[in-house]
Structure 1
Amino acid sequence: MSHSIHDIAVALGAEAFGATDILISRAAEPATADPDDLALAMNPKYAESLSQGRARAAMLWDGADWEAMGLEAAIIAPRPRYAMSGLTRMLDAGQGFAPGIHPSAVVDPGAHLGADVSVGPLAVIMAGARIGDGAIIGPQCFVGTDATLGQGAYLREAVSIGARVTIGARFIAQPGARIGGDGFSFVTAEPSGVESVRKTLGDQGEAKAQPWTRIHSLGAVTIGDDVEIGMGATIDCGTIRDTVIGDGTKLDNQVHLGHNVVIGRNSLICGQVGIAGSATIGDNVVLAGQCGVNDNIFVGDGVIAGGGTKLMSNVPAGRTMLGYPATQMDKQVEAYKALRRLPRLLRDVAALKELLKSGKGS
């Protein structure tokens, strides 16, 4: 599948220059680009390696002198990385999942499949499940009893969707995503040491050792439109109400959402983030890799938390957070700089003490 430079530029809303009839079949990094590749040299740093490859055409930044780089054609985009999203969509060859229902798939007669649904090998769709038009259910996927998938849903291989989970349109789940397991919720017959610690922040009291009793998950999971879930991500059902993910939110690989978590619209939850039960995350929140969110707190709209941040208490809207425990990023950086100066400060204090002891400092 090839596209001309002209057609690519039109599709991306960008400008094309030079030999716009050149056909492009792939995107490539500048140093490894072949003549039928579009080199992605979207800032001057990457353009330096164009001479190492054989690209005739490149996607460049606004104001780039493409002729001086020895190119025959160029696509100039005011925001190249955004244009890259459209380019990769055009060039994505997909996974090759065949249309129709594979003979090895198990589809309960009580399930409802919309038009043009693809069901891959060894997939299982349970009674009462409703699959929207144009959905793709990949190999070895599981869709539980009374679950709902909206139109255009795309489940990669080995995705599982639990009973009564409701998912909107254009959903994407990467391999191994697990949605709708029981929440991690247990209780003891008498007050436990954990309960005492939560109250006292340290003292376990005289609580005795006891077995843990499961609290079953009666809620499910509700997911809006245009949501994407990464590989190995796990989302627990709610205990009584549903766990909820709003429209447009994206979860990276190995993210975990505990029971009753609510995430708003257009939030970005990066790799290995863990959000404990009943936490509420607002709209347009970004949690960088390995962030942790305590249970029963809220994180306001527009909050950005840097990598490894641990949010232990409520965070007002618009804050930028870093560290463990989290503080505002500028304060955390200032404290870190002070910490690095601490050994020198201790040496200076020790030297002053010696000076005072010797009587020379009086």
Structure 2
Amino acid sequence: MAVTNLRFNQVTPGLDRADVQSRYKATIEMAKFADANGFDMISLEEHHGAENAWSPSPLSTAGAIFGATDRIGVIICALLAPLYDPIRLAEDIAVLDNISAGRLSIVAGLGYRPVEYAGLDREWTRRGKIQDEVLETLLKAWTGEEFEYRGRTARVTPRPFTDPHPMVMVGGTAKASVRRAVRLKLPFYAAANIPELESYYYELAAEQGFEGGFAVMPPASTKMIYCTEDPDKAWAEYGKYFLHEAETYSSWQTADIESAVESHAHTVDDLRKEGIYTCLTPEECIEIGRTGGLTDALILHPLCGGLPIEAGWASLQLFNDKVMPHNHPE
């Protein structure tokens, strides 16, 4: 049985206000539908100053989702932790953890766009040290006790619902991120399939006597799914939206960054051949889900790249009707 995941980032080419609002509303409505129908997870993201409104505020979106749902989890992958005030971030996550009764997971990432740091008045060259301070502060703050913070006494209340603290994983694609995770006794979440980082994590953890940690590794082939009975027709109608998102994301990458969903395509045909963005029949989705497990997650991206909302609903409804009964049998 595969994990079923809905990915949302509210990308809206053109920045039409009514369209932006409709996409956030659709995100909440789709999350509510997923919650009621047994889906496992909602995935949110963070970017700033994007020309297509790529979501800058996943914590706010998560709060709205939690208010509309009862059981589904939300993972923010990734939260750009150095861009936040550590104390306010500790408070916001603690409140969300209480609202959701522990359904929030965070992948704390550094990010890879200097313009985002500049826009929020953070020092790009100090991002690693800032990340250390933020994560260390979160772990101290969530005890509910007083602690020293930048030369003064601080305290964060309420404590999170989750004991000892909400699920926070250190994200990255470098050994420095692995070392940070082990030092702080946190899980590691790789942004790309890099097996040597997984091995490195467990080796370091063993050396330091850290038990109970884990490393999450995406599969070698990650697929963003649009579920349809007619893949050729879907590609003809919606390929431009998939390509818009793929090219936007690719334009932000640098040579030292790896990602499981980075595309190198510049045409719809090339994107289809590449196999990251996919239009799959229900039968193809069922086959992917047969082996089950986290590495075989079925990831639907129902609002991808500005995809018409009604088309996103069509994909989600078809998947629910024809795939979910096989993936989550009674």
Larger RCO of the pair (alpha carbons < 8 Å, separation 6+):
2
TM-score by length of 1: 0.21
TM-score by length of 2: 0.23
